[in-house]
Amino acid sequence: MGSGLPGAFTEAEETITRENMEIHRKLVDDARTEGLATKTWIAIIDNKTCNGCRALNFTTIPIDDVFIARGISVNFPGLHPGCRCSLGFGEAEKLVRDLEQQERTIEELPPEEKEKPEVKTVLERIKQALSRLKRFLFGGR
């Protein structure tokens, strides 16, 4: 019924997706009111996770920016019917400190641990999130 959602969703699917989005819209509004500056997409990663949600996992952006996935931009989950993603909110400065701590923890792992693909993936995600956050904090958006 031309609601503007991407893809060919049934009416029931659109309703569920809209309800999910309304919940997240409220969460974003509350976080902004509390003075939080960033939002982080958090996906549940398993064999049902779609590529769009998988790619967005741990993406941290300024609270009023949009996430880009599958060529569409969204302010918050859900990305599609059945989307199980959620959001984390933070002070940008605190998130940078937390991520840097995680980065150091990984850097200090024994070499054979650090070489594991899943560890490398996590480290890559952390580095990407840090560079985005630092651009946000120190200008050059």
Q: Is residue 83 within the footprint of Zn ion (CB under 5 A)?
A: yes
The dihedrals phi and psi of 47, each to the nearest 5 degrees, come to -75, -5
Piece in contact with Zn ion (CB under 5 A), picked from 2-10, 64-72, 74-82, 131-139: 74-82
Q: Is residue 5 within the footprint of Zn ion (CB under 5 A)?
A: no
Q: Is residue 53 within the footprint of Zn ion (CB under 5 A)?
A: yes
Piece in contact with Zn ion (CB under 5 A), picked from 51-59, 61-69, 90-98, 124-132: 51-59
* Shortest Cβ 40–Zn ion spacing (Å): 13
Among 36, 85, 87, 129, binds Zn ion (CB under 5 A): 85
Contacts of 137 by beta carbon, 8 Å cutoff, 6+ apart: 92, 93, 96
Q: Are strands 72-74 and 67-69 parallel, antiparallel or unpaired?
A: antiparallel
The site that binds Zn ion (CB under 5 A) totals a number of residues, namely: 4
Angle CA 88–96–60, to nearest 5: 40
Q: Read off the tokens for 50.
A: 């779609």
